[in-house]
């Protein structure tokens, strides 16, 4: 009974909360810029508005163009069901699901890139090439981080790896976990097209990475893309929070409270980074991603004492 | 077992009948296809019986000569490899009937069907052979039949080059194999018992003797690796696969290269316990091959070369898993060995299905548009909706993404590496986990290769007249694709059942009691059943989401326009991104420097520069920097022996006389005096 309630709460949170993160990031950025900024709930209004609009679809495109947004959204939702949220296990969890989570995100990216190339636009082909390349460099960092936590906990399930078992290792292998945390934070910024990798607010096609891939999508399809992107951001934030605070008290309310504060904290941190740094030159992005791989790799090697 | 012999007879009958009828293309095609399909279906019956029952079928015959025993046997390990030979053989034959028929005005069709059936019979006999002589004979038949199939379009110089490279690689490989069997035979002293001395069971009894076992293992890697496409023996793959007719490429890539893995597995069962370093060495070789293959796949312009390099990548993954399995066996980690061996077997079947699908689909693209150059394709999905859609299924599977079958094998490899890394403390465990990181990079690169392949060839607008006028293939070419795509989906949602089916073969390869692997997999917590269930739900969710999207878009209203081009209203295909541009960023930033394309550029000079020139090419770096200098320098040295070649038959007769006399003289000195 308790598990069912927990799962229902989990599903409700991962479906409802994600756009709020984007709102928080925007508020923080507005605060640093000395503006009032859009309302906290603006991302919700945007998504709802987009779902009410019609769309213009290029004549060059095929069904693949329409399949991109729903597959990207579905994969994000599926991954969000594999990630442990507060204290207890995720709704879907089995041995080996960590690999599944990473590859599901890969599937969403695969179809987003295909949908972009379906338009026959030079910009979108360019964006697709950039997105898959940078994701490919981020992938090893993500896996090496997973390997570190798996080595510590002996579990191959995300729920086991980021459960209370991990908490005891912060004292013995804290350095490794801290390295992984930093590496994963870089990965989260890259995967969610945040500064310094990509500027979600840029208006010049040639400088975009993710945004340029979805130029031709509009209306409900764009709404799905924005919603899916916010769920993906939530997933990464949740992983970071669970890595940093893998605790489970006996009180679910306290767990959820810690988790919620942590998630908002990650969003605020992203907002601060976006306010404080400029985006990198495109040719420097791989260097930072390789640095993330090295951080996670060092975290792993430190365990081999 | 009689059915197996009947199947071989049907294949040979089809072969002979088609060459007899070579002047009538229709009859030759019908004979060839009927022989192949009939033979394959007949052969499938004993194969499935062995897989289902776990028993063995055997037949022995032979003639009264030294090493004259002919022993054929189907055991679970053999049946596992026979299944793709027969399934893909029949599907590719049906496809090939239509595909080759387009050449009927230019070429005789008897010979390709003769060699196609011979190729199938050769592959089946390689798997069933249980004596070294039969094995090597069948291996040669398979290799030479494949050579004649590759050189089908021998009027093209690049095809002749491909055939030549393939022939040399195949024979360097077989030379290693002959050496390996001689070493095995001499160790066991079995040359003495003349009739059945080279029987596999006789060879196996005395093979495990450490210094020799190592040498045999290395010869097996070189000999079988040349066929499977291990780095650096892979150079024939990217030449031969694009040159061969597509149904043959499908069979070569889907099945023939796996027989290299089969040979390695068979020899490993004879060698007994592996040494501790074999597994890590093999896994390193596998990771190197996978990295090289996928890095080169990203940059190719020819669709079939992309697929050939992707085969090299997948063979690398299979080798990695095999290495992990050997390591697990040697380091007494049965759970790791169980999962890794399962990964080897599962990925062999899955790769056979999905690579067969991709090569046949690439053949349809070539058939429909007349080109396999990515820079000239584009927009094929609109013109070939069925073939294009099935190719997307194959591409997602090849990129090893869930919810399709390519992911299952990769998932098992990851699980085995993670399990090994967790179980073993210290540096060795960390290396296993770092290898998982390398695999993640390879997976990301594979996704790039297939996004590029599908996105450039199928989507966007056509980049040439040929692609603009592409036509959908006839049913005989689309139905085989559909069958393979359905098999991909079935393999993705029923992995637990497949593992159960092939468990006897896995047990046999690991040399353990039947049923042991299944128990260990359950213990290792690798849950193929959960993954299959998840895949099923995911497929349903994706299809449902897609349908819902279309409904929502329809309800809200859809207007048609042109693609966004910063306000430019008349986009043309020349404005779309090219395959080479797409590959530039990943090639420059995510692949090893060694594998990057070679570029040449004249550049601007002087105050009044002329037009610039730019060219880029992607030669295989190992072929270009290793083999070509080596072989050309030796070719120069051997050129001195031209003096022996006078082209005069009398001189050759003189040579024969000299050699025979010398041989007799040598033999007569070695016979003991007064001896018998």
Tokens of B504: 């006897």
Which of A71, A121, A133 lies closest to B563 in CB terms? A121
Most B CBs within 10 Å: which of A96, A191, A197, as the mutation test of the B interface? A96
Residue B350 lies in a domain: yes
Q: Which residue of B has its CA nearest to A302?
A: B430
Assign B189 a pLDDT band (cuts: 50, 70, 90): low
Containing structural domain, residue B414: 339-556
Residue contact A150–B414, C-beta within 8 A: no
Please give the average per-residue pLDDT across B352-380, as a whole number. Answer: 94
Query: Residue A216 — φ and ψ, nearest 5°?
Result: -85, -5
SS3 B604: coil
Nearest to B436, CA basis, from A212, A263, A92, A145? A145
- Closest Cα in chain B, distance from residue A223 (Å): 11
Tokens 């012999």 belong to B5
For tokens 């893998």, name the residue. Answer: A246
- For B199, phi then psi, to 5°, come to -70, 140
* Per-residue pLDDT at B203: 79
**Residues in contact with A36: Cβ distance below 8 Å, sequence separation at least 6, in sequence order:** A30
The mean per-residue pLDDT over the stretch B141-170 comes to 94
Q: How far apart are CA A227 and CA A72, in angstroms?
A: 10
For residue B438, list chain A residues with Cβ-Cβ distance below 8 A.
Answer: 140
In a domain, B464, yes or no: yes
Mind giving me the DSSP string for B389-408? HHHHHHHHHHTT-TTSTHHH
Q: B59: which strand partners?
A: B72
Name the residue with higher pLDDT: A202 or B148: B148
Residue B157 pLDDT more than 50?
yes
Query: Which residues of B are less than 8 Å from A151 in CB distance?
Result: 421-422, 429-430, 433
Residue at B187 is within a domain: no
Contact A244, A163 (CB under 8 A): no
Q: Report the residue from B421, B445, B583 with minimal CB separation from A136.
A: B445
Q: Contact at 8 Å (CB) between B193 and B226?
A: no
Number of domains making up chain B: 1
pLDDT at A290 over 50: yes
Residue of chain A whose Cα is closest to the Cα of B418:
A147
Residue B223 lies in a domain: no
Q: What DSSP line would sit under B549-602, residue for residue?
A: HHHHHHHH-EEEE---STT-S---GGGSPPHHHHHHHHHHHTS-GGGSPEEEE-
Residue B191 pLDDT greater than 80, yes or no: no
- Reading the block at residue A41, the tokens are 């709930």
Band of the pLDDT at B675, cuts 50, 70, 90?
very low
The per-residue pLDDT for B668 is: 87
Residues comprising chain A, all counted: 305
The pLDDT, as a whole number, for residue B290 is 96
pLDDT at B663: 94
pLDDT value of residue B207? 58
**Residue in chain B lying closest to A112 (CA):** B451
pLDDT at B261: 96
Q: Which of B355-364, B521-530, B641-650 has the lowest mean pLDDT?
A: B521-530
Question: What average pLDDT is seen over chain B?
Answer: 90
Average pLDDT over residues B22-29: 92
pLDDT tens digits for range B389-420 = 999 999 999 999 999 999 999 999 999 999 99
Instruction: Look at phi and psi of residue B610 and say left if phi exceeds 0, alpha if psi is from -120 to 50, else beta.
Output: beta
CB B336 within 8 A of CB B416: yes
Q: How does residue B375 score in pLDDT terms, banded at 50, 70 and 90?
A: very high
Beta bridge partners of B60: B71
Cβ of A96 within 8 Å of Cβ of B415? The answer is yes
Domain-located, residue B329: no
Q: Is residue B419 part of a domain?
A: yes
From A224, which residue of chain B is nearest by alpha-carbon distance?
Answer: B549
Kindly tell me if the per-residue pLDDT of B676 is higher than 50. no
Task: Print burial letters for B27-37: b (CB count within 10 Å at least 16), e (below 16).
Answer: bbbbbbbbbbb
């Amino acid at each position: 009974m308790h598990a069912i309630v927990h799962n229902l709460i989990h599903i409700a949170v991962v479906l409802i909360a994600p756009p709020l993160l984007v709102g928080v990031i925007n508020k923080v950025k507005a605060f640093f810029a000395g503006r009032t900024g859009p309302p906290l709930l603006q991302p919700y209004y945007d998504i709802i508005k987009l779902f009410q609009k019609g769309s213009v679809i290029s004549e060059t495109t095929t069904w693949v163009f329409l399949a991109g947004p729903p597959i990207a959204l579905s994969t994000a939702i599926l991954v969000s069901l594999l990630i442990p949220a507060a204290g207890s296990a995720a709704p879907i969890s089995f041995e080996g699901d960590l690999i599944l989570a990473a590859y599901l995100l890969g599937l969403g990216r695969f179809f987003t890139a295909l949908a972009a190339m379906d338009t026959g636009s030079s910009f979108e082909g360019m964006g697709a090439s950039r997105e898959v390349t940078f994701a490919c460099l981020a992938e090893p960092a993500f896996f090496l981080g997973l390997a570190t936590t798996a080595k510590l906990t002996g579990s191959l399930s995300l729920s086991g790896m980021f459960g209370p078992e991990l908490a005891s290792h912060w004292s013995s292998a804290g350095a490794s976990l801290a390295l992984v945390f930093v590496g994963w934070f870089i990965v989260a910024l890259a995967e969610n097209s945040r500064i310094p990798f990509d500027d979600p607010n840029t208006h010049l096609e040639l400088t975009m990475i993710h945004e340029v891939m979805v130029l031709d999508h509009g209306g409900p399809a764009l709404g799905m893309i924005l919603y899916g992107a916010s769920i993906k951001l939530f997933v990464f934030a949740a992983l970071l929070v669970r890595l940093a605070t893998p605790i489970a008290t006996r009180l679910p309310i306290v767990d959820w409270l810690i988790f919620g504060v942590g998630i908002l904290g990650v969003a605020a941190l992203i907002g601060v980074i976006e306010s404080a740094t400029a985006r990198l030159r495109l040719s420097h992005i791989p260097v930072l991603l390789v640095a993330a791989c090295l951080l996670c790799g060092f975290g792993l090697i430190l365990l081999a004492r | 077992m009689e059915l197996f012999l009947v199947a071989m007879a049907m294949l040979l009958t089809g072969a002979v009948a088609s060459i007899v009828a070579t002047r009538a293309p229709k009859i030759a095609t019908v004979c060839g296809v009927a022989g192949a399909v009939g033979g394959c279906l007949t052969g499938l019956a004993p194969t499935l019986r062995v897989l289902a029952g776990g028993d063995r079928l055997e037949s022995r015959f032979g003639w009264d000569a030294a090493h004259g025993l002919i022993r054929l046997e189907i055991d679970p390990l053999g049946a596992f490899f026979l299944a793709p030979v027969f399934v893909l053989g029949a599907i590719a034959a049906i496809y090939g009937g239509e595909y080759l028929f387009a050449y009927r005005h230019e070429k005789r069709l008897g010979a390709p069907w003769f060699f196609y059936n011979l190729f199938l019979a050769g592959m089946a006999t390689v798997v069933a052979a249980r004596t070294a002589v039969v094995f090597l004979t069948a291996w040669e038949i398979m290799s030479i039949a494949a050579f004649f199939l590759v050189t089908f379009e021998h009027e093209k110089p690049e095809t002749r080059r491909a055939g030549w490279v393939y022939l040399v690689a195949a024979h360097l490989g077989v030379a290693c194999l002959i050496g390996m069997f001689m070493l095995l035979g001499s160790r066991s002293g079995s040359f003495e018992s003349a009739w059945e001395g080279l029987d596999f069971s006789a060879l196996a009894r005395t093979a495990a003797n450490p210094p020799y076992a190592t040498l045999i293992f290395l010869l097996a890697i070189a000999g079988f690796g040349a066929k499977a496409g291990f780095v650096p023996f892979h150079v024939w793959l990217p030449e031969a696969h694009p040159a061969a007719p597509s149904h043959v490429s499908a069979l070569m890539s889907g099945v023939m290269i796996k027989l290299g893995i089969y040979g390695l597995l068979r020899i490993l069962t004879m060698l007994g316990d592996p040494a501790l370093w074999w597994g890590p060495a093999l896994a390193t070789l596998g990771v190197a091959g996978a990295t090289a293959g996928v890095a080169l796949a990203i940059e190719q312009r020819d669709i079939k070369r992309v697929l050939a390099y992707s085969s090299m990548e997948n063979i690398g993954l299979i080798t990695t898993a095999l290495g992990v399995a050997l390591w697990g066996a040697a380091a007494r980690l049965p759970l790791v060995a169980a999962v890794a061996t399962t990964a080897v077997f599962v990925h062999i079947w899955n790769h056979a299905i999905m690579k067969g699908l991709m090569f046949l689909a690439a053949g349809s693209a070539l058939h429909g548009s007349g080109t396999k150059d990515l820079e000239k394709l584009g927009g094929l999905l609109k013109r070939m909706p069925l073939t294009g859609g099935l190719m997307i299924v194959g591409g997602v599977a090849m990129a090893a993404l869930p919810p399709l079958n390519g992911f299952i094998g990769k998932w098992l490899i990851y699980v085995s590496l993670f399990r090994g890394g967790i179980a073993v403390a210290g540096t060795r465990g960390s290396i296993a986990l770092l290898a998982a990181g390398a695999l993640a990079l390879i997976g990301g690169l594979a996704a790039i290769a297939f996004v590029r392949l599908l996105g450039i060839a199928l989507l966007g607008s056509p980049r040439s007249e040929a692609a603009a006028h592409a036509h959908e293939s006839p049913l005989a070419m689309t139905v085989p694709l559909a069958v393979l795509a359905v098999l991909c989906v079935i393999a993705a949602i029923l992995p637990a059942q497949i593992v159960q089916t092939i468990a006897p073969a896995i047990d046999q390869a690991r040399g353990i009691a039947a049923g042991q692997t299944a128990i260990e997999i359950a213990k290792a917590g690798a849950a193929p059943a959960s993954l299959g269930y998840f895949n099923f739900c995911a497929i349903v969710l994706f299809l449902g989401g897609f349908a819902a999207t279309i409904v929502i878009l329809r309800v809200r209203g859809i207007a048609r326009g042109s693609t966004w081009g910063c306000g430019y209203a008349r986009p043309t295909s020349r404005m779309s991104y090219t395959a080479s541009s797409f590959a530039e960023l990943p090639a420059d930033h995510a692949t090893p420097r060694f594998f990057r394309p070679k570029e040449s550029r004249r550049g601007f000079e002087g105050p009044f520069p002329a037009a610039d020139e730019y060219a880029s090419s992607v030669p295989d770096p190992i072929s270009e920097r290793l083999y070509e200098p080596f072989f050309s320098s030796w070719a120069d040295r051997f050129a001195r022996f031209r003096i022996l070649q006078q082209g005069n038959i009398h001189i050759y007769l003189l040579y024969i006389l000299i050699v025979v006399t010398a041989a007799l003289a040598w033999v007569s000195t070695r016979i003991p005096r007064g001896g018998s």
